[in-house]
Amino acid sequence: MTDASLREIALISVSIDLGAGRRGVDMGPSALRIAGIAEALEAVGHRVHEGGTIAAGGLETSDPGDAALRFLDEVARVTARTRFLVSRALGEDRFPVILGGDHSLSIGSIAAVADHFRERRKPIGAIWVDAHTDLNLPETTPSGNIHGMPLAVLMGRGDGRLTGPVPSLRPEHVCVLGARELDPGEKALISEMGVRVFTMSEIDARGMAPCMDEALERATDGTAGFHLSFDLDVLDPRFAPGVGTPVHGGLTNREAHLVCETAARSGRLVGLDLVELNPVLDHRNDTAVLAVGLVASALGKTIL
């Protein structure tokens, strides 16, 4: 890493599990901090600043509302606050690292990054590293859990209280890496919108390196850069047991590091989410320790 690539980093914690179907990912930010995320980034050479903490209301005290959009009011409040904190960090020339929390938080984080570069008349791309595509709509969701909808929301599809007036992402600049569990409505939307999805089957056949290279090309073509939204359930549960919605047959530890190392080498990374860590299901905080290493790789840590 050269001195020119060192960053001022804003760590932002978003403690929310209302977008998910299982409790516990709201404790993810604390587990990542206990695992030493700030120290790991400082060891790479970055300067780390506290960017703020957001806590969602409790399950018992929050109104679940519509069964097709569970806890919409509270999720909308948290994502709006996330958007504000990320916008503030970017305004201070700090690179935002957002710790979750369920994946609904990305509605706010990526919207803020898109806002920032829209002012410079440039779109952003997104690489969504996830076992799921998160492309459900209120009319297609089998669960009503909003963490299954954020990528659709960011492309302007879904409830207007979440999408806002202007989409944050264009489908031609979006890629999903590692998908292996899709709902019928998501498959239809992928076909309609033309989102590039690299399934685990394709990654197995081609290898992660060419798939990630293709994803980078798409996410950076004509954009200001790309946001990396990393859901830990993309990893196989053998490596990452402490996740909200584990799905067997996922990435290995090294494949995940390759994604992050390639993102760092590109020089085009403009924001990073790390989501769906569930300490309740983890073993000795092992998943959190792995996650800290992945963030360090995405921000420049190398083997040599």
Q: Is 134 a catalytic residue?
A: yes
Q: What is the Cα–Cα distance from 130 to 250, expressed in whole angstroms?
A: 9
Q: Which CATH superfamily is domain 3-298 in?
A: Ureohydrolase domain (3.40.800.10)
Contact partners, residue 2, CB within 8 Å, separation at least 6: none
Along the 304 residues of the chain, how does pLDDT read in single tens digits? Answer: 334 478 999 999 999 999 998 899 999 999 999 999 999 999 999 999 999 999 999 888 888 999 999 999 999 999 999 999 999 999 999 999 999 999 999 999 999 999 999 988 999 999 999 999 999 999 999 999 999 999 999 999 999 999 999 999 999 999 999 999 999 999 999 999 999 999 999 999 999 999 999 999 999 999 999 999 999 999 999 999 999 999 999 999 999 999 999 999 999 999 999 999 999 999 999 999 999 999 999 999 999 8
Q: What is the Cα–Cα distance from 152 to 44, expressed in whole angstroms?
A: 34
Q: Is 26 a catalytic residue?
A: no
Q: Is 173 a catalytic residue?
A: no
Q: What is the Cα–Cα distance from 84 to 88, expressed in whole angstroms?
A: 6
Q: Is 3 a catalytic residue?
A: no
Three-state secondary structure call for residue 220: helix
Contact partners, residue 230, CB within 8 Å, separation at least 6: 129, 130, 259, 260, 272, 273, 274, 275, 294, 298
Q: Is 115 a catalytic residue?
A: no
Question: Where do the structural domains in the chain lie, given as residue ranges?
Answer: 3-298
Among candidate residues 17, 231, 236, 282, the one labeled active-site is 231
Q: What is the pTM of this model?
A: 0.97
Which tokens hold the place of 302?
């190398």
Q: Is 233 a catalytic residue?
A: yes
Among candidate residues 46, 103, 116, 257, the one labeled active-site is 103
Identify any residues that bridge with 175 across adjacent strands, giving them in sequence order: 127, 196
Among candidate residues 74, 134, 236, 282, the one labeled active-site is 134
Which tokens hold the place of 31?
């587990």
Contact partners, residue 1, CB within 8 Å, separation at least 6: 44, 45, 300, 301, 302
